Amino acid sequence: MGKTTHRFVVSAVGKGGQTYLTNCHDKYELKKWLADHEDDLIMNEVKIIDKKKHPILKLFSLKR
């Protein structure tokens, strides 16, 4: 049994107050999940974490 890794972690808040937490393997799966749930999500509250992003790039791309 192989090790499964997820590259993207998505944390989002729904319009009804639901909390979504999901993992996606690649950007195509991420785009598909976002397209499927676009009507249910508050898009300003969606946070996507790329676990394979280089640590130095994380420092320069902080959004506050």
Judge whether 45 lies within some domain. yes
Judge whether 42 lies within some domain. yes
DSSP strands (E only) in the chain: 8-13, 19-24, 47-50
| pLDDT tens per residue across span 8-27 | 999 999 999 999 999 999 99
Judge whether 1 lies within some domain. no
State the Cα–Cα distance between residues 59 and 23, nearest whole angstrom: 23
- Edge-first strand listing for the sheet containing 8-13: 19-24, 8-13, 47-50
How much is the pTM?
0.77
Total residues belonging to the chain: 64
Domain limits for position 30: 8-60
Confidence band for 63, pLDDT divided at 50, 70 and 90 = low
Number of domain units in the chain: 1
User: Taking Cα atoms as reference points, which of 64, 14, 58 lies closest to residue 36?
Assistant: 14
Judge whether 3 lies within some domain. no
